[in-house]
Structure 1
Amino acid sequence: MRCAPTAPAALVLCAATAGLLSAQGRAAPTEPPEPPRFASWDEVNVLAHGLLQLGHGLREHVERTQGQLGALERRLRACGAACAESGGGAATPGPGPRAAAAAETLGSLQTQLKTQNGRIEQLFHKVAQQQRHLEKQQLKIEKLQSQVSHLGHRMAKTGRRKRLPKMAQLAGPAHNTSRLHRLPRDCQELFEEGERQSGLFQIQPQGSPPFLVNCKMTSDGGWTVIQRRQDGSVDFNQPWEAYKAGFGDPQGEFWLGLEKVHRIAGGRGSRLAVQLRDWEGNAESLQFPVHLGGEDTAYSLQLTAPVASELGATTVAPNGLSLPFSTWDQDHDLRRDKNCAKSLSGGWWFGTCGHSNLNGQYFRSIPHQRQQRKKGIFWKTWRGRYYPLQATTMLIQPTAVGAAS
């Protein structure tokens, strides 16, 4: 591109335009091909934003230059008109031809600038279009990643619910995994064999495959922990099959499983211990004799009259009461007009709904609404139905031994 000599502003414009055109037409130097590499999203995003900023800058420069050219054109026209008027009354030739030549040069520059501006606009729109396309693709990728993460979380959660023994082994090895003789049937038998350390152990009740349990050894014998609540890390609002098989982590929050507890009890008389703690640091410990039936009885607790009354029995026979276990999908409670597990939360030997529920919803702070507090973990005869407890533990032991400490 060659530029005719004009005003200084036009010369600067000519140089800038020529630079743009020469840069556009210059061929890139030949270099050996690099191995293919996929750019990360951050790299592509930075490049796209850089191109957009370059497009904005070029467009602003062109608009500013067009304004300067317009001002120059108006000055030339004014000068040409003035020169024509002065030339009409004088004998000397006016500057009209020079003004016409300058106007022609200015027009040529404006035409080239418009062409270059059109190219810049096309480039700008293409970059903006690619940027929008990249943003849409990124949103799709993030949505797919979220779906995969959610699916993995659900699969892991399902595995925790249905495969308690496997998860317990991941949580920590059992202390008696190297035993060569038969496994004990419960923690009490392990205690009688000389074990005094609490922890995870393999047991094998009669007629049952081996499974892992958490044993608490006291001065009076071995207790099998069947439930623990302490931090709300496990969802206890589970269906019947989950409560039957067990779920959670035996070293944290867990429910051992109704079938496993039934196998441990084995039709024998047992003692159930309930340990409670409130948010003020107060603790309470209860013990009472129980028999636990099998699934054909809905894993009913057979309780003596005093304990049955405490757990919500409205009428108690002289030999006690059989209190079945209920979940939201299998209603066996003593209320004909209500499903206690649906009305409250979790699975439990509900009785008439309002006396106890150690498998309710875990609250890290006490809810203000009374109806919400009813869904929590409570033991009515200690802190009341509307006080959600901070921690609970349930343990079981055969009654062939003396009372535990």
Structure 2
Amino acid sequence: MRSAPTARAALVLCAATAGLLSAQGSPEPPEAPRFASWDEVNVLAHGLLQLGRGLREHVERTRGQLGALERRLSACGAACKDPEGSAVPPLTAGNLVPSQSDAAPETLHSLQTQLKAQNSKIQQLFQKVAQQQRHLEKQHLRIQNLQGQLDHLAPMHLGHGVAKAARRKRLPKMTQPAGPAHNISRLHRLPRDCQELFEEGERQSGLFQIQPQGSPPFLVNCKMTSDGGWTVIQRRQDGSVDFNQPWEAYKDGFGDPKGEFWLGLEKVHRIMGDRGSRLAVQLQDWEGNAESLQFPVHLGGEDTAYSLQLTAPVASKLGATIDTPSGLSLPFSTWDQDHDLRGDKNCAKIPSGGWWFGTCSHSNLNGQYFHSIPRQREQRKKGIFWKTWRGRYYPLQATTMLIQPTVAEVAS
């Protein structure tokens, strides 16, 4: 009879399988967690997949061996029956143990039970391996997606860094100018104005540090447009800042560069320098209408009371009547320093606010802010107005003033 050796071989095979599963089910304590590279994850996933495939092949082989044992048992049972048809010989006093014919069915049943149990464990393990493989594939897809985004952003980031290497670092928007420590950390020259920033590649509007020739650095609000960079020198929009200020305040500047503010006459003079410049004036009324004006200007220093030199057509609209060697000129006036062209009154005291007054009735964008149009005429005279657009007695809702070097200066 060869069924017993075959059964022993099957037992050895099951014992080896049980040992393999025992080793797989009792891993050593894991090491401290760490980030693995994709190569390491890929090797692990490949190994788990190969293990699952090997276990599945082992299950198939074991099933085949079990079928062979069953067939041998059936053949042995038919051949080992006695003539009377008894499948098992009777026990005698000298034979107290079952014969091999009795032991074979019991052994086969035991093997069959063990193999079913091992088959179930192997199938569960293979399902876990397949599940982990799917998770790893999903993670790999996410990694590839992120890597693609990084590859797309890297050239932009590098190009942005190279383009910015020779110009100022973009500042976060803030109410106060940057402190000395930030300026000391800079290793290159700051731009002279917003137009120079534009020429260096800046296209986003916002707050920037600039440093005109002969001036310490200071913060400005730049507006970038299709025709260049403009430096905002004045903005009115909600009445949050009192513009009825003395001379020194208008000289140095006041307000919030993110909201309502006056940049300062000295800063504007430093930005313009000896260059020709354009002044843009943007006006808005309470009905939503807007008007934009541009004209060439030149601003003198404090020794000229920061006089605004204008061409004749513009000067006549603003009330300039004094002809100087450098052209028609309007000095700046405040309530404590009267430089206007009226000898009988101080225009900065009557309408309020500092301005380049020719007479008191042509324009004043630094007047009192009204949240609605006052009924009384004397009140409306003190408001923000531009006579040649909506008239002297219409207080405007919002204004913005910007400067930029002329095209001839930019080209040079």
**Structure 1 length as normaliser, TM-score?**
0.56
Asked if residue 374 in structure 1 is aligned to residue 396 in structure 2, the reply is: no
Instruction: Give the Cα–Cα distance (whole angstroms) in 2 for the partners of residues 398 and 304 of structure 1.
Output: 16
| 2:350 corresponding residue in structure 1 | 343
Q: What secondary structure sits across from 1:252 in the alignment?
A: coil
Structure 1 position 316, deviation (Å):
5.3
Contact 2:341 2:359 in 1 (8 A): yes
Structure 1, residues 88-147: CA drift from partner, whole Å, max 9, x if none? xxxxxxxxxxxxxxxxxxxxxxxxxxxxxxxxxxxxxxxxxxxxxxxxxxxxxxxxxxxx
Contact 2:320 2:328 in 1 (8 A): yes
Question: 1:260/1:168 Cα in 2 relative to 1: closer, same or farther (>3 Å)?
Answer: farther
Instruction: Give the Cα–Cα distance (whole angstroms) in 2 for the partners of residues 245 and 168 of structure 1.
Output: 20
| 2:83 corresponding residue in structure 1 | none
Structure 1 position 313, deviation (Å):
2.3
Contact 2:178 2:219 in 1 (8 A): no
Letter in 1 for 2:225: T
Structure 1 position 317, deviation (Å):
7.1
| 1:190 corresponding residue in structure 2 | 197
Match of 1:298 among 305, 308, 332: 305
Q: What secondary structure sits across from 1:244 in the alignment?
A: helix
Matched ranges for 1:77-88 at <5 A: none
What is the number of equivalent residue pairs in this alignment?
237
Contact 1:308 1:320 in 2 (8 A): no
Instruction: Give the Cα–Cα distance (whole angstroms) in 1 for the partners of residues 402 and 225 of structure 2.
Output: 12
Structure 1, residues 272-297: CA drift from partner, whole Å, max 9, x if none? 00000000000000000000000000
Larger radius of gyration: 2
Instruction: Give the Cα–Cα distance (whole angstroms) in 2 for the partners of residues 320 and 333 of structure 1.
Output: 16
Asked if residue 311 in structure 1 is aligned to residue 311 in structure 2, the reply is: no
Instruction: Give the Cα–Cα distance (whole angstroms) in 2 for the partners of residues 387 and 318 of structure 1.
Output: 35
Matched ranges for 1:242-257 at <5 A: 242-257=249-264
Structure 1 position 196, deviation (Å):
0.5
Match of 1:384 among 368, 388, 391: 391
Structure 1 position 318, deviation (Å):
9.5
Instruction: Give the Cα–Cα distance (whole angstroms) in 2 for the partners of residues 339 and 259 of structure 1.
Output: 22
Q: Which runs of 5+ in 1 are unaligned?
A: 1-166
Instruction: Give the Cα–Cα distance (whole angstroms) in 2 for the partners of residues 311 and 322 of structure 1.
Output: 10
Match of 1:260 among 263, 267, 271: 267
Instruction: Give the Cα–Cα distance (whole angstroms) in 1 for the partners of residues 177 and 253 of structure 2.
Output: 17
| 1:51 corresponding residue in structure 2 | none
Matched ranges for 1:209-228 at <5 A: 209-228=216-235
Structure 1 position 314, deviation (Å):
4.0
Q: Which runs of 5+ in 2 are unaligned?
A: 1-171
Matched ranges for 1:59-70 at <5 A: none
Structure 1 position 312, deviation (Å):
1.0
**Structure 2 length as normaliser, TM-score?**
0.55
Asked if residue 180 in structure 1 is aligned to residue 187 in structure 2, the reply is: yes
Letter in 1 for 2:255: G
Instruction: Give the Cα–Cα distance (whole angstroms) in 1 for the partners of residues 252 and 326 of structure 2.
Output: 30
Q: What secondary structure sits across from 2:335 in the alignment?
A: coil
Letter in 1 for 2:201: G
Match of 2:282 among 253, 260, 275: 275
